[in-house]
Amino acid sequence: DADVTQTPRNRITKTGKRIMLECSQTKGHDRMYWYRQDPGLGLRLIYYSFDVKDINKGEISDGYSVSRQAQAKFSLSLESAIPNQTALYFCATSDLAGGVDTQYFGPGTRLTVL
Amino acid sequence: SQELEQSPQSLIVQEGKNLTINCTSSKTLYGLYWYKQKYGEGLIFLMMLQKGGEEKSHEKITAKLDEKKQQSSLHITASQPSHAGIYLCGADGTGTASKLTFGTGTRLQVTL
């Protein structure tokens, strides 16, 4: 089984709808992240969490919210989806072991907002 | 904020040829990560470099971090179709090993 899973893998929704993307991990890592990937723009950080009680905004958090339900689960919500939120969304986890913080990524969720 | 520039943006090479991808940072790198992404899929961690002059290898892929810690190169020897994908560099520019900034990626195609 994959260490970092994301559901759904693909989603098509309409403008104005609220949508939740879910991420689960079995790696036992404390740190979790949400990124979006757009062509030509690379990966951009939306939110990150260093433990269950610690949530931080990334560089592009407007229009998004997150919930860290447990160490293993980190959900991303789009409050009212808009077309420019169409992108590939990645969840990642990491564990600062020995001063090295390598991030491990899930398979991604392809979101299309019509 | 830190910016990463990757070059080239895309690359087509014949199977068996060598190639190099570069990642240049606007600031000193505290850590430089290389990932590979197959089209539309997740990122696979390849290797991480921390020390100036450091070099690491994984199978036929070698990455180096220059002495000044502002540029890294990824070299593939005797490319194979399995090497095709998008290569991304990610940088820890704060020394806190917390958030990464990513380059826009280099798309590699390997022809037969």
Residues B30-49 have a mean pLDDT of 89
Three-class SS state of A52: coil
**Chain A residue numbers touching B42 (CB-CB < 8 A):** 4, 90, 105-108
Residue B95's pLDDT band (cuts 50, 70, 90): low
Residue-level pLDDT at B86: 94
Q: Please report where in the chains the tokens 């951009």 appear, as a residue.
A: A44
Residue-level pLDDT at B41: 81
The Cβ of residue B66 has, within 10 Å, a number of other Cβ atoms equal to 16
Does the structure show a pLDDT above 60 at B97? no
For residue A49, what is the nearest residue in chain B, using CA coordinates? B98
Residue-level pLDDT at A98: 65
The closest CB to that of B42, out of A40, A48, A105, belongs to A105
Residues of chain A below pLDDT 70: 1-2, 97-100
Does the structure show a pLDDT above 90 at B6? yes
The closest CB to that of A100, out of B4, B88, B97, belongs to B97
Q: Mean pLDDT for chain B?
A: 90
Q: How far apart are CA B4 and CA B27, in angstroms?
A: 9
Residue-level pLDDT at B82: 94
Q: How far apart are CA B88 and CA B106, in angstroms?
A: 7
